[in-house]
Amino acid sequence: MSGEHAFSLASKLATLDVGDSIWLPDNDLLADLRLGATNMERQVQDRIAKSRKLTGRKFSTTRADAITVGRTHHILLRIERLK
């Protein structure tokens, strides 16, 4: 996730209003075996810390499981803007 372009993660996060969230795939299956952040959580935190357009904004991340109508299991990361 290098560079800033129209579809970058930082740009997507910058469009969120307080209370809004986005859901991203988070297929780091080893995360359950350790207490640390997943690869996607680290990428999100890195983008938030390094992007000037996100200065002063606060976000939280939450891991989730989703089952589709077709009974497909998806591991997701919810990113919510807090401030």
- The answer, yes or no, to whether residue 1 has pLDDT greater than 60, is no
Residue among 55, 43, 53 nearest 79 (CA): 43
Which has the closest alpha carbon to 9: 65, 66, 59? 59
> For position 39, what pLDDT does the model report?
84
Least confident piece of the model among 21-25, 54-58, 62-66, 69-73: 62-66
pLDDT digits (tens, 9 = 90+) for 24-57: 998 766 655 566 788 888 889 999 999 998 999 9
Owning domain of residue 29: 9-81
Residue 2 lies in a domain: no
Band of residue 6 on the pLDDT scale cut at 50, 70, 90 = very low
Query: 3 in a domain, yes or no?
Result: no
